[in-house]
Amino acid sequence: MVSQTPDSYWKLFLPSSNSEYSWVAIILGYPVVAIYYWCADQTIVQKVLAAKSLKEGQYGAIFISTLKIIMPLIFILPGIMCYVLFKDNAQPDNAYITMIKELMPHGLLGLSIAALIASLIDTVSSSLNSFCTVFTLDVVAQFKVLTQKQQIKIGRWITIIAAIVGVGIAMVFSYSGKNFFELSQGLVSILAPPLSIVFLAGIIWKRVNSISAEIVLYGGGLVCLVLGACHVLNYPYKGYWPHFLLLSFYIFVALSIVIIAVTLFTKSVVNPVIPSILESKNTSLNEQTYRSRPIWLVWLGLASLMIFIYLFFN
């Protein structure tokens, strides 16, 4: 398999001249997306907040990040196998289906299709559940006090509407000429900067206030939504926009300047009482800090393993 594929298939860091996945785009863009995904994505945060304790939530997040290491074997390796076995008639988006159809007996074929459908349903269900939860409890509640029965009713209608809108957006994006991976990763990357910036500012800089946060979230979010749609639909023409990870980084830098400038020129109406992450770490070694030491050691081991994998496949 290795001898029948280009050398670039086994390298994680591609040259900066590579138009699809240059190492510059990876290094600059993926941290922005990672901060959003692990720290601000409702589908992740909602599950961590359901933990019985802080320690349980931390270990749960680390366990999931450990499982992420095997994802290249699940996603990338079968695609390379498909390239070798069915080079003439396999397209990237159809690699999984091609492998199942051509190689598996009928019993396992049905089981694999059922697993694929179940995973898709679970992903869609989690997303819709998170969306209706935020909309019902955080958006509608700003304007009207709801009873539990009203919350359930509104949540059901919002779920139906969001599902219909999602199908419509998917149909529009199907005409973009981009593959599924590029579409999904591109949209997430371009929409991530506002949430990543507000999260980082909230834990690092105690002075940041709600005015600057709302300007970045709402104003920056609207800008990201417009830019994301233009990028996906190749407007004004194909090749006009940089790589989606580079675009995400550029937006992140621009909105960082905005949140700093607005914070410096405005005054918070509420005195901040929650310490920043630096202030909490600079305090005396208390019981909670001591208990968190194993968490940091496990995280350090995981980070070292990831660095080794990147160096090995380069």
| Of 186 and 107, the one with more pLDDT | 107
Q: Which residues pair with 91 in a beta bridge?
A: none
| Of 169 and 276, the one with more pLDDT | 169
The answer, yes or no, to whether residue 229 has pLDDT greater than 70, is yes
In this prediction, residue 148 has a pLDDT band, given cuts at 50, 70 and 90, of confident
pLDDT digits over 97-142, tens only?
Answer: 888 888 889 888 889 889 889 988 888 888 888 888 888 888 888 8
Most confident of 11-20, 148-157, 184-193: 148-157
- Residues 36, 242: Cα–Cα separation, whole Å: 21
CA neighbours within 13 Å on the CB side: how many for 50?
A: 6
- In the structure encoding, which two tokens stand for residue 142, read together? 């700003």
The answer, yes or no, to whether residue 3 has pLDDT greater than 50, is yes
For 93, residues 6+ apart whose C-beta sits below 8 A from its C-beta are 179, 180, 181
Handedness of CA 100, 105, 108, 113 (dihedral sign): positive
Helix locations, the chain, DSSP H:
23-39, 42-48, 54-68, 71-85, 95-103, 106-134, 148-173, 180-191, 193-204, 210-214, 221-232, 244-265, 277-282, 287-291, 293-312
pLDDT, averaged across the chain: 84
In this prediction, residue 290 has a pLDDT band, given cuts at 50, 70 and 90, of very low
